[in-house]
Amino acid sequence: MSVLSTLGLAAVAILLAEGIARLRGGKEALVATVLVQILALAALTWAVQAGLLVPLVVLAPALVALMGTVAVLARPPGWREPVELARLAETTLLVALTFACEELLPVALLWLVSLLPGLRYREHPGVSRRPFALKALLSAGAALSALVLLRFAPEQGTLAWLALVLAAAIRMGVPPFSPLVLSGYQRLPMGRHALVAAARPSVALLLAARLALPEAVEPLAPLLQGWAATAAVLAGLQGLAAQDLRRSVGAMATTQASIILYGLVSTGHTGVAGALVQWAGLGLSLVGIGVLVEAIESRVGEARARSVRGLMGPAPGMALLFLLFAASMSGFPGTTGFVGEDLIMQAPSTQPVLWRGLLLLATALNGFTMLRVFARVFLGRLQPEEVRAFPALTLRERAVLGVVVLALGVLVASPAWVVA
C-alpha cells in the first residue's frame, strides 16, 4: 500500500470512531462498534485472500480485528459508552492496518497515528493521564528520529534501527519503561487496556524495520538481546513483588513483551517466528484474562476485587479459564507460549547459555506469579462472605471467552498460520 492510501484508510477508521462517539445511546454504540469490527475483519480477510494487501503476517490483521470484536462484546456495564467503545474500535482498526502493509514508512505512520486514541480517552476520577502521555511522547520521539535519519542520513541505518527498537520497547513496556505501562493496567478498564496492550503494533513496526534494514540487525543483535533478556527477568521480579491482581497481570504481560522483543531483535528467522507465535498467543490470552478480571470487578467492585478470595467454589468455570490463559502467558507446555518461547530460545546468540538462562528464569518467575495469583483469587476460604452469591459467567461472557479458547486451540494446532 502507498503512503497516501494507508493514511486514507487511517482517516476512515478515525471518522468511523468519531461517528460512534457521537451516538446518543450505549446500545446503539455497541451495535455500531461490533458491526465496524466485524466488517473490518471480513474486509481484511477478503483483501488478503484476493491479494490486494501484502501484509507482514497474513492472519495478523484479522487476528487483531477478532480480538477487538471479543473485547467489545465482553465489555462490562462500567464502560463509558459510546466514547470508549469508539476509541476501542479506532485503536483496533488502526493497529490492524499496521500489519496490513510491509513498507516501513506507512507502518511507522500508522504506528504513530494509533497512539492518538489513547491520548483522547476521558480522564477517570482521581487518575492522571500523564504516564500514557509520557510513554507516547518518548516512543513517538524515538520513532520520528529514526524516520528523520532514514530520510536525511540513509547511511545511518544501524542507528535508525536502534531508535525504532527503543520506540517499540517504550510502547511495549519493556523495563526500564514498564512503570509507564503498568500504570495503565491499574487505572483503566482492564478489558480495553488488555486489548490495546495485546495488539502490539510495535511488532509490526519492528518487522517492517527488519525488512527495510536487514543489514542493520546483526551488529546490534548481541546488545539488544542482552537488554531484552535482562529486562524479562526484571519484569518477572516486578510480578513477584506485585500485590494486586491488575498489577500482577501487567507484570506478566511486560515479561512476555521483553521475551517477544528478544525474538524480534535476533538474527535469522527462528527467533522472529517464535516472537510472532508468542505475540499471537499472548494477545489472545491477555484479552481473555482482561475479560475475566473485569467480570470479577463488575460483580464485586474494583476496590473489593483486590481482596476477594476463594472464588473457585462459586465460579469454577471462571477459575478454569483464568488458569488456562495464565498458563499460556507463562509458557506452560502444551500452550502457544511454550511453542513461542521454544523457538525464541533457539535464536542465534553470542551468549546462548547466559541469555537462554535469563529467559528461563523470567519464564519461571512468570509461572510463579501465575500460580500465586490463581491461588490468592480462586483458592482458600471464600472472603468476603458477601460474595457467596457470586454470579456465574453469563451466556455472553461464555460465548466470548469460548471464541478466545477456540482461537488459542487453533493456534496451538497450527502455529505456522501466524508466521506465513
Average pLDDT over residues 241-266: 89
Q: Per-residue pLDDT for 419 more than 70?
A: no
The length of the chain in residues reads 420
Residue whose cell numbers read 546483526: 218
- The confidence band for 2, taking pLDDT boundaries of 50, 70 and 90, is low
pLDDT at 336: 80
Helical spans, DSSP H, in 242-351 = 245-264, 270-300, 302-305, 316-329, 336-345
Buried b (16+ CB within 10 A) or exposed e, 102-130: bbbbbbbbbbbbbbbbbeebeeeeeeebe
- The confidence band for 236, taking pLDDT boundaries of 50, 70 and 90, is very high
- The confidence band for 395, taking pLDDT boundaries of 50, 70 and 90, is confident
Q: Per-residue pLDDT for 166 more than 70?
A: yes
Say if residues 385 and 311 touch (Cβ distance below 8 Å).
no
Kindly give, in sequence order, each residue whose CB lies less than 8 Å from that of residue 315, ignoring residues fewer than 6 positions away.
378, 390, 392, 393
Report how far apart, in Å, the C-alpha atoms of 157 and of each of 110, 217, 223 are.
21, 9, 16
pLDDT at 21: 87
pLDDT tens digits, one per residue of 37-64: 888 888 888 887 787 778 888 778 888 8
Q: Is 383 helix (H, G, I), strand (E, B) or coil?
A: strand
pLDDT tens digits, one per residue of 194-208: 777 788 899 999 999
Q: Per-residue pLDDT for 122 more than 70?
A: no
Q: Per-residue pLDDT for 125 more than 60?
A: no
Q: Is 309 helix (H, G, I), strand (E, B) or coil?
A: strand
Buried b (16+ CB within 10 A) or exposed e, 54-84: ebbbbbbbbbbbbbbbbbbbbbbeebebbbb
What are the backbone angles phi and psi of residue 309, rounded to the nearest 5°?
-140, 160
Q: What's the whole-number average pLDDT of the chain?
A: 85
Q: What is the pTM of this model?
A: 0.91
Report how far apart, in Å, the C-alpha atoms of 308 and of each of 319, 353, 375 are.
13, 41, 11
pLDDT at 210: 92
Average pLDDT over residues 343-369: 89
CA distance 406 to 216: 39
Q: What ranges do the domains of the chain cover?
A: 1-121, 215-420
If one counts every other C-beta atom within 10 angstroms of the C-beta of residue 216, the result is 19
Q: Per-residue pLDDT for 124 more than 70?
A: no
CA distance 49 to 205: 23
Q: Per-residue pLDDT for 233 more than 90?
A: yes
Q: Is 242 helix (H, G, I), strand (E, B) or coil?
A: coil
Greatest mean pLDDT among 15-19, 25-29, 388-392 lies in 15-19
pLDDT tens digits, one per residue of 75-93: 776 677 788 888 888 888 9
Q: Per-residue pLDDT for 139 more than 90?
A: yes
- The confidence band for 255, taking pLDDT boundaries of 50, 70 and 90, is very high
CA distance 34 to 40: 10
pLDDT at 1: 57
Say if residues 294 and 76 touch (Cβ distance below 8 Å).
yes
pLDDT at 257: 92
Average pLDDT over residues 180-205: 80
